[in-house]
Amino acid sequence: MNARNVRVRFAPSPTGLLHVGNARTALYNWLFARRAGGSYILRIEDTDLERSEERYEDRLIEDLRWLGLDWDEGPDEPGAPASGEFGPYRQSHRQSIYAEHTERLLAEGKAYRCFCTAEELEAERNLASAEHRPHVYSGRCRHLGAAEIERNLAAGQHFAVRLKIADHPLRFHDLVRGVVEFPPEAVSDPILVRSATGASAGFPVYNYSVVIDDALMQISHVIRGDDHIANTPRQVAIYEAFGWPLPEFAHLSTILGADRERLSKRHGATSVSTFREMGYLPEALVNYLALLGWGAEDGRTEIFTLDELTSAFSLERVTPSPAIFDFDKLNWLNRHYLKLAAPPGLAELAWGYLAYHLPPRESAPEALRSWFDRLLAFFVPHVDRLDQLPAKLAFVFGFDPEASRLVDENSAVLSADSSRTVLAEFADRVRAHAGPVRPDDFKRWMNEVKAATGAKGAELFHPVRIALTGAPSGPEFDKLLPLIEDGAALGLGIPSVSERVERFVGV
């Protein structure tokens, strides 16, 4: 198949937030399509009526756009026409298409009506369980005569529609795993359309609707998670029943947590929106997701822009082995991209995390914006993600001297006689000073305190750091002091150096 015919799809169900595993699937499809110059289709599989919600669809679309994964064809938006000639792109809008194809299979004798009740099917399952064998539908309705079918229909009996499975192995080629084959008895006669009872009455099952959609949308490659491998033989049988050619399949490995169990909420964040709220950049998350099951040809390169990934990506380098989600590696990548981020964009993102201390950005004066840019330039290299900024910057906006003294690490430092002497000498010099404290002032005072007390190194600096920042170690004073003093002048309630010392020594 030439590149111009490559058509792939990402087909999420709007039943929850976009999981990073599904986001990786979306990314691999996007990269494959973009490298081949093909088409990337977004299709919403919303036939689970009890769980599908519009808010989840809105959020997953927002998350895909945030990741930079645009699509060539997809669902229409309110007030806008549908995009693409193969729509509708929501399964809930395609019911008449499925019904038409069901009538075709019934007319050709490739499917049949199953009048078995729920109780009868449960009895079959119980018998199989008692005999310690897999449950396979008995096929009792497969050979009903036309007259009996008509009598059942006339009596208003509910029915499901089942596919007649041919008596030969169901085989497909997987671009990640090679040839995969299932015996026909492993599939039985699968239900295509549910019985006309319950919330999903008369609706096609997933395996049926997805095959019709993929075939009619001319999907060339089905790239998805390996949890769909068990579904594939049923889908192969449906392709065969319609006489449609199979697409190429590529089943991606499972993503596991550090304990080698399937990644779930107990491991931490798992949804794209949660990573976004935590202050991960889309460039970092995309870069990291690409590495979960794929690697560069040189076996070493790990940092890629989206354009670089597009040029480098190939399904041949996707591994079937499970991928371990490593939060430390994601944090490393995020730090890299935070350092590269343009100051205006970074400030726009970071402002919201400190909204408790700041006015709305759109009404902030230029002096405050400029100071905030300097603050970020100094502190962002020391965080893994933006939601760590409030804790990292808490001492800048103010800290509780009394609580600070009670911290075990601080208490051990401050209990020394030398610390009390150093703080007293330092406080005397601060009190005698008029105006903002600058790095040169600080250096001179510390030299004078050193000479007056004989303290040096940690004995000299740690108590002063605790008085100013609440911790015995931290940022370089020559860069920190101007930020504190300039921030104090902005009317944000930030305590100046002299105010900090007075509060602390007075405790």
How many independent structural domains does the chain possess? 2
**For residue 292, what are its two tokens?**
């979960």
Yes or no: say if 181 and 171 are a contact pair by the CB < 8 Å rule. Answer: yes
- Does residue 24 lie within any of the structural domains? no
Cβ atoms of 165 and 188 closer than 8 Å: yes
Q: Is residue 491 part of a domain?
A: yes
On the 0-12 / 13-18 / 19+ scale of CB atoms within 10 A, 392 is: middle
Q: Would residue 211 count as lying in a domain? A: yes
- Cα gap 22→12, rounded to integer Å: 8
Q: Report yes or no on 312 lying in a domain.
A: no
CATH number at residue 163: 3.40.50.620
Name the residue among 286, 475, 274 with its Cα closest to residue 380. 475
Phi, psi of 42 (to 5 degrees): -105, 120
Tell how far CA 113 is from the center of its chain: 42
Domain region containing 447: 396-505
**How far apart are alpha carbons 451 and 498 in whole angstroms?**
21
What residue spans of 115-184 are helical by DSSP H?
A: 118-130, 146-154
Q: Which of 252, 274, 307 is the last residue of a domain?
A: 252
Cα 394 to chain centroid, rounded: 28
The answer to whether 338 and 381 are in contact (CB under 8 A) is yes
Q: Show the tokens assigned to 196.
A: 């006309």
Last residue of a domain, one of 252, 281, 298: 252
Q: Distance between CA 105 and CA 94 in Å, rounded?
A: 17
For residues 372 and 378, the answer to whether their CB atoms sit within 8 Å is: no
- Measured between alpha carbons, how far is 117 from 105 in angstroms, rounded to an integer? 22
235 within some domain? yes
Kindly report the backbone phi and psi dihedral angles of residue 23, in degrees, each rounded to the nearest multiple of 5, phi listed first.
-65, -40
Residue 58 lies in a domain: no
Tens of pLDDT along the chain (507 residues) come to 444 589 999 999 999 999 999 999 999 999 999 999 999 999 999 877 788 888 999 999 999 999 999 999 998 754 444 467 898 999 999 999 999 999 999 999 999 999 998 888 889 888 878 887 787 888 889 999 999 999 999 998 999 999 999 889 999 999 999 999 999 888 889 999 988 654 445 789 999 999 999 999 999 999 999 999 999 999 999 999 999 999 999 999 999 998 888 887 777 778 999 999 999 999 999 999 999 999 998 889 999 999 999 999 999 999 999 999 999 999 999 999 999 999 999 999 999 999 999 999 999 999 999 999 999 999 999 999 999 999 999 999 987 888 888 888 888 898 999 999 999 999 999 999 998 999 999 999 999 999 999 999 999 999 999 999 999 888 898 899 999 999 999 989 999 999 999 988 875
The structure's pTM equals 0.90
- CATH number at 471 reads 1.10.10.350
| Residue 198 domain-assigned (yes or no) | yes
Under a CB-based contact definition with an 8 Å cutoff, are residues 424 and 455 in contact?
A: no
Q: Find all residues with CB under 8 Å of 457, minimum gap 6, and list them.
A: none
Q: How far apart are CA 53 and CA 56, in angstroms?
A: 5
Is residue 431 situated within a structural domain?
yes
Indicate the residue among 192, 225, 252 that finishes a domain: 252
Query: CB-based contacts of 414: which residues, under 8 Å, 6+ apart?
Result: 405, 420, 463, 466
Backbone φ and ψ of 153, nearest 5°: -65, -40
Q: Which residues are catalytic?
A: 265
Cβ-based neighbours of 359, under 8 Å, separated by 6 or more: 368
